[in-house]
Amino acid sequence: MSAARLRSGALNLIETVGQSLAAIAPTLTPALNISIVAGLAGLGCWMSYFIGTLGVVIVAASVGVLASRHPEAGSYFVYIGRSFGPFAGALAGWSMISAYMFTAVAVALSFAIFLGDFLAAFGVKLDLLPMTVMMLVFVATVTYAAYRDVKLSSRVGLILEVVSVGIMIVITVLFVRVRGTVIDPPQLKISTFNYGGVFSALPFVIFSFVGFESSATLAKESANPRRNIPLAVIGCAAFAGIFFTLMAYLMVFGIGNDTATLGKSAAPFGDVAAKAGLGWASVVVYFAAMISVFACSLASVTAAARLLFSMGRYQFLHRSMGLVHDTHRTPHRAILLCGGVLAVICVALLPAGLLDAFGYAGTFASFGFVVVYFALCVVAPMDLKKSREMKPRHVLLAMAGGALMLFVVVGSVYPVPAYPYNILPYLFFAYMAAGAMWFAVLKVKSPQTLASIQHDMEE
């Protein structure tokens, strides 16, 4: 009997969109991430998100080009491997595994943060032990949902994210009505912005978008992936960017342009709502945020598992990672490994405190994404050149996207950030070096495997 395979064509366009939208988790930016950007960019907060949107949409266009030409599971491993060989492809997959896993860690930790805020609104305070238990239950639930059914996980992710974004939009409309206008002259005087702060905030802006490309990892399970994957990737990046830019503008306006206060807030959206006399909305915001982090964590585990599946199938990792469940048609071994690693890392980071641990995990995740985003910008025009379809606009777009990603990398090491953020780039480098050493050993011990992979990629 032949081995079970992933459920081909199981996801329609809406469900494919659900994977990327849930991975972005738009609700988390106004609920938490925006504090850092506002603190750095000041009144130019919305401008940082606008510039970031342009860059991410350019990267999304590169992903769309590759996805329409090579609809494969574990997409980034294949995309980059086709142009630079299986060794580079394996490193790309290795990078994205860390990116998705640490995104899942960050959002699992943020679930504990929002749960604590939600319960505190009712006068309930949990100690660290019960909070840890609740977080582990959350991780187990996410793992089960990913294990059970890819259609279920994508639909749940989309529905939960639409609900949470809808709650945010309704509350935003209410506090705009309190102000009586949407015109905020200080935010519209762009000549007065501190552009040093605007640009220094871009690494954190990019973190708000990470995951927009994750639907490409489900290409084998998407119906008409050559059409649906580019639409999902580019559409979600553009929607998220518009949402973030508008929310940044309206939240700064709603808090009376006091970006210093907004930059220090652990619950920025709740504080803006409270200033508008909508204190009750904080409870709703925390609830919406918990919905969003479940969807994001589910999407992240799903994407990481597909990358492990692809690398296991090609024997860069243990072949058990490339197995598919007979009934559920999901890469069950890869999903269970992701769930276990997620739980271990979350618990290991708890001594740092939930907020600090969230920051560390999110920053580490962003490195994995940025490295591959840069590589994708380089690979997209090269791939088009092979079929003689490359045009000057493809090169210009790739250069613009690549330049932004390089800026993000430079911004992570200079000016030198405070400890332990100053060592995180080097820890990521060590992680990548370990992967490179393993793949180099594999190349020496099993050259025929790499030769067969190269042949497969060139087909």
CATH number of the domain within which 87 lies: 1.20.1740.10
Residue 372: closest CA among 104, 60, 154, 106: 60
**pLDDT at position 309, please?**
87
C-alpha torsion sign, points 347, 338, 77, 242: negative
Q: What is the pLDDT of residue 287?
A: 84
- DSSP assignment of 359-377 equals HHHHHHHHHHHHHHHHHHH
3, part of any domain: no
Residue 122 in contact with residue 282, Cβ under 8 Å? no
Q: Which residues pair with 222 in a beta bridge?
A: 11
Contact 403, 411 (CB under 8 A): no
pTM of the model: 0.84
For residues 67 and 107, give the distance between their C-alpha atoms in angstroms, rounded to a whole number.
Answer: 27
450: which 2 tokens?
């790499």
Q: Which domain holds residue 172?
A: 13-458
Look up tokens 């395979």; give the residue. 5
Q: What's residue 14's pLDDT?
A: 82
- Residue 29 is classified by DSSP as I
Integer-rounded Cα radius of gyration of the chain:
21
- Give whole-number Cα distances, 138 to 162, 225, 291, in Å: 20, 31, 11
The SS3 call for residue 218 is strand
Per the structure, how many domains does the chain have?
1
> Does residue 378 form part of some domain?
yes
Here the tokens at position 346 are 């979350």
Residue 2 in any domain: the answer is: no
Is 1 a domain residue?
no
Specify the 3-state DSSP secondary structure of 26.
Answer: coil
Q: What confidence score (pLDDT) does residue 458 get?
A: 47
d(CA 166, CA 163): 5
**The two structure tokens encoding residue 185:** 């002259």
DSSP assignment of 90-116: HHHHHHHHHHHHHHHHHHHHHHHHHHH
- Alpha carbons 248 and 29: distance in angstroms, whole number: 9
Cβ contact 229:68 at 8 Å: yes
On whether residue 7 sits in a domain, the answer given is no
pLDDT for the residue 351? 93
- What does the pLDDT profile of the chain (459 residues) look like in tens digits? 345 555 555 577 887 887 788 788 898 899 888 988 898 899 999 999 999 999 899 999 988 888 777 766 556 667 788 788 888 888 988 999 999 999 999 999 999 989 988 898 888 998 989 999 999 999 999 999 888 865 555 567 678 778 878 888 888 888 888 888 899 999 999 999 988 888 878 877 888 998 888 787 777 677 787 788 889 999 999 999 999 999 999 999 999 999 999 988 878 888 888 888 887 777 888 888 888 888 889 889 988 998 888 778 777 777 777 777 667 577 889 999 999 999 999 999 999 988 889 888 988 998 999 899 999 999 999 988 988 889 998 899 889 989 888 888 887 787 777 788 889 999 999 999 999 998 888 878 777 666 655 555 544
With 0-12 CB in 10 A as exposed, 13-18 as middle and 19+ as buried, what is 69? middle
Half-sphere exposure (CA, 13 Å, Cβ side) for 435? 22
Burial category of 158 from C-beta neighbours within 10 Å (exposed 0-12, middle 13-18, buried 19 and up): buried
pLDDT computed for residue 1 by the predictor: 37
User: Contact at 8 Å (CB) between 141 and 400?
Assistant: no
User: Is residue 6 in a domain?
Assistant: no
Amino acid at 436: A
| Residue 50 included in any domain | yes
Please check whether residue 157 lies inside any domain of the structure: yes
